[in-house]
Amino acid sequence: MTAISCKNLCKTFQQGDQTVVGLDHVSIEIDSEEVVCLSGPSGSGKTTLLNAMGGLDTPDSGEIRVGDLRVDLLDKGQRADMRLNEIGFVFQAYNLIPVLTAQENIEFVMQVQGVPAELRHQKSLAILQEVGLEGLEDRRPAELSGGQQQRVAVARAIVSEPTLVLADEPTANLDSTSAIQLIELFLELNRKLGITFVIATHDTRVMSYCRRMITMVDGKIVKDVQQDQAPLAASEHNAISQT
Amino acid sequence: MQNADQIRTNALPPLGTLMTLAWRNLWRNHRRTAIMLAAISVGVWAMIFMSALMRGMVDDMLKRGIDQLPGHVQIHNPQFLDDPSIVHSLPEPDSAMQDALNQAAVSKWFSRVKVPAMISSERESRGVMLLGIDPEAERETILNGVELTQGRFLESAGDRGVVLGEKLVQRLETRLGKRVVITSQDPQNNLAEIGLRVIGIYQAELRSQEEQFLFISKQAAQKLLNIEDQVSEVAVFGDDYRDIARVSQHVTAATESWNSRLPAKVEANPWQTINGFLSSSVTVMDGFVLIWIIVVFIALSFGLANTLVMAVFERVREIGLMLALGMRPALVTWQILLESVFLLLLGLLLGNILAVLSIYALADGIDLSGVAQGFEMVGVGNTLVPQLWIKDLLTANAVVILLGLTTSMLPAWRAANYDPVRALSKAT
């Protein structure tokens, strides 16, 4: 089943007098439970593509579907609701709300969704355990390390059980150990919960863990390959388990 | 295919989350919040306290003005207000009218003669307002408003003395025990005069009152003016000059009934009709208080808007993050407005407490004797007692909340309209 599909996406930006091409007729299909890596040099269009997929930005032309939903046809409020309910985001710079504790940050999305307090509490504690932050629930972001903050961000992204997680350079500010722990966490969550991950990165450590790697240059997809050596995505893992 | 309507939306905003965020964000910059709180508190204090001073001043002016009339509701010949001469007199209330005036709605009433007259000593003459009163009935009321400094007050209906103000005595260059001549006109426009001995000298807080009024007994006045059983006015008092609706209604009804027994009609008027200047001063003060409150708030609003703009500017990334995570722009607006509400409510609380304490501390009044002459020109006495009106308190609070929220709309709207992609790319 297709988790997300893009057809002929085009996006340009105006920088002073110059028109910069962000996306140049990008077409892509990502299946459910895949872990996909978007790579490419800076300015190649990775983040632009992620933003378009997540409804944070609108393409100039083309079509985006998340599941059955035409993202490019939604208005601002509907896109906000889609992000709230269908997509989890992990950003480069942790991006936690500094005045909330780790647990409150995780519960934030559920609070906006209107999930009852008791259920929110249960789920956030469970997910904190899942990402290895048990006991740190009352700490504010400033009291956590970079790796711990990114784990909180991941927990926040997946706690409301989205079908898709979009991660933009999630390891950029992490040391090697934390980066590997984070990508292993992604793969574990993919295997356990069947969440589709699209990770924009130019971190080779991350790339080596993804079965499918899409390379972008100047707003175009120039390469889309399956890597045999990478750990299995959830669908493949399940298929093997069943045989 | 799933359409847009199928996307889940929440009917109610997550108020708890918004309030938590708003409250904690408010205290992120303690110093800025404390300065803004101090500014709002002082502003609110200024609004309420100054309003209380102005109310106190106007109340004093009204009380003194009404004391000089005096009477909350007065019954006159219909022409008396335009021409307060003895030609426009009315009869003493008959027994039925007296019964009506002795009802519970009326706290006290007096009939009196009140005419313009001339008083002469052996050296000087002055124009005055002659009050012919029933000393036994009205003595206590009059002596509440003035202080007898020499001699005695009128004691009986047939008392043959006159009580003058200290300033009038000085002007006339007379003294206690001397005789003065009071001249006026009778209803036939004949000159009427009477010689009386000065039996008492009073001092009023408003020195102008001392020059204006002299007191003789009602009988002496009636005899002087040749108006047996006629008076100029019937003055009726309720409990409070501000709440005379009931007494006014009662006296008007009694007067209408009395009219059926009179050859010429009389009419009852509340003090607001009798003295338009005093009455309009309350309306003018209402407007003045509101303008004062708004002016203070406008000064405050610059600080408030600046605080919120800075608070929003410092959190562009965070707001972008919340929008990116799916928080609707309207909720971001609510969050910023809640911050403003918390700040305003705290400021109001402190400002109200400060104002009430200040007013309570000055309950005995502020001594204005140093500038008494200036205040006397507008009819205000030597002591200014601040008066807290609940209406002013509520107006100040409502104006601060309403205009405060209006001022906060711009930063809140700006925050809600951030493009999440751009906001997230801002450097922290």
pLDDT value at B172 more than 90: yes
Q: Please answer yes or no on whether A156 and B321 come within 8 Å at the CB atom.
A: no
CA distances from residue B252 to B84, B234, B268 in whole angstroms, order as listed: 20, 12, 5
CA distances from residue A108 to A97, A119, A133, B20, B179 in whole angstroms, order as listed: 9, 13, 17, 11, 93
Nearest CA in chain B to A66: B2
pLDDT value at A3 more than 50: yes
d(CA A140, CA A129): 17
- Mean pLDDT confidence for B261-287: 83
| Token pair listed for B287 | 């407007």
d(CA B58, CA B72): 16
Nearest CA in chain B to A54: B324
Give the model's confidence band at B177: pLDDT under 50 very low, under 70 low, under 90 confident, else very high.
very high
Q: Please answer yes or no on whether A82 and B318 come within 8 Å at the CB atom.
A: no
End-to-end CA distance of chain A: 20
Q: How far is A112 from chain B (nearest CA, A)?
A: 6
| Token pair listed for B369 | 């004797």
- DSSP H stretches of helix in B184-315: 207-212, 218-225, 245-259, 271-274, 276-313
Q: Please answer yes or no on whether A73 and B9 come within 8 Å at the CB atom.
A: no
pLDDT value at B26 more than 50: yes
Chain A CB within 8 Å of residue B19 CB: no
pLDDT value at B350 more than 90: yes
Chain A CB within 8 Å of residue B361 CB: no
Q: Looking at residue B12, what is its pLDDT?
A: 55
DSSP 8-state class, residue A158: H
Which contiguous run of DSSP H or E holds residue A127? helix A117-130
Chain A CB within 8 Å of residue B322 CB: yes
Length of chain B in terms of residues written? 428
Chain A CB within 8 Å of residue B2 CB: yes
d(CA B186, CA B193): 9
Q: Looking at residue B68, what is its pLDDT?
A: 65
pLDDT value at B1 more than 50: no
Chain A CB within 8 Å of residue B16 CB: yes
Share of chain A above pLDDT 90, in %: 32
CA-based angle B157:B160:B166, to the nearest 5?
105
Q: Please answer yes or no on whether A97 and B318 come within 8 Å at the CB atom.
A: yes
Q: Select from A54, A74, A81 the Cβ nearest to the Cβ of B9.
A: A81
Q: Select from A51, A65, A93 the Cβ nearest to the Cβ of B421.
A: A51
Q: Select from A74, A89, A113 the Cβ nearest to the Cβ of B324.
A: A89
Q: A91 and B321 in contact (C-beta within 8 Å)? A: yes
* Residues of chain B found within 8 Å of residue A112, distances taken between Cβ atoms: 10, 14, 17, 325-327, 331
Give the model's confidence band at A196: pLDDT under 50 very low, under 70 low, under 90 confident, else very high.
very high
Q: B41 and B47 in contact (C-beta within 8 Å)? A: no
Residue to mutate among B25, B26, B33, B325, with most A CBs inside 10 A, is B325
| Token pair listed for A211 | 């079965």
Which amino acid would we find at residue B274? I
Q: How far is B318 from chain A (nearest CA, A)?
A: 6
Q: Looking at residue A172, what is its pLDDT?
A: 81
- Is the pTM higher than 0.80? no
Query: Can you tell me whether residue A234 is helix, strand or coil?
Result: helix
When the pLDDT of each residue in chain A is averaged and rounded to a whole number, the result is 86
Torsion of CA B173, B177, B179, B180, to 10 degrees: 50
**Of the ranges A17-31, A181-195, B241-255, the best mean pLDDT one:** A17-31
Residue to mutate among A65, A112, A154, with most B CBs inside 10 A, is A112
Q: Looking at residue B200, what is its pLDDT?
A: 94
Q: A-B interface: how many C-beta pairs under 8 angstroms?
A: 95
pLDDT value at B145 more than 60: yes
pLDDT value at B373 more than 80: no
Q: Select from B16, B24, B326 the Cβ nearest to the Cβ of A81.
A: B326
Q: Which range among B172-176, B215-219, B290-294, B351-355 shows the weakest confidence by mean pLDDT? A: B290-294
Q: Which range among A11-15, A203-207, B43-47 shows the weakest confidence by mean pLDDT? A: A203-207
Q: Which residue has the higher pLDDT, B145 or B290?
A: B290
Nearest CA in chain B to A57: B421
Torsion of CA A73, A76, A79, A84, to 10 degrees: -170
pLDDT value at A231 more than 80: no
Q: Looking at residue B183, what is its pLDDT?
A: 93
Chain A CB within 8 Å of residue B420 CB: yes
Q: How far is B352 from chain A (nearest CA, A)?
A: 30
Count of Cβ atoms closer than 10 Å to residue B294 Cβ = 16
DSSP 8-state class, residue A201: -
pLDDT value at A194 more than 90: no
Count of Cβ atoms closer than 10 Å to residue B365 Cβ = 14
User: Residues A25-48: pLDDT tens digits?
Assistant: 999 999 988 999 999 988 889 999
Q: Looking at residue B379, what is its pLDDT?
A: 64
When the pLDDT of each residue in chain B is averaged and rounded to a whole number, the result is 85
Give the model's confidence band at A104: pLDDT under 50 very low, under 70 low, under 90 confident, else very high.
very high
Using beta carbons and an 8 Å cutoff, which residues of A are at the interface with B?
51, 54, 56-57, 65, 67-70, 73-78, 80-87, 89, 91, 93, 95, 97-100, 104, 108-109, 111-114, 156
pLDDT value at B7 more than 50: no
- Mean pLDDT confidence for B291-299: 84
CA distances from residue B135 to A243, B163, B192, B215 in whole angstroms, order as listed: 119, 11, 22, 9
Q: Is the dihedral of CA B27, B32, B36, B41 positive or negative?
A: positive
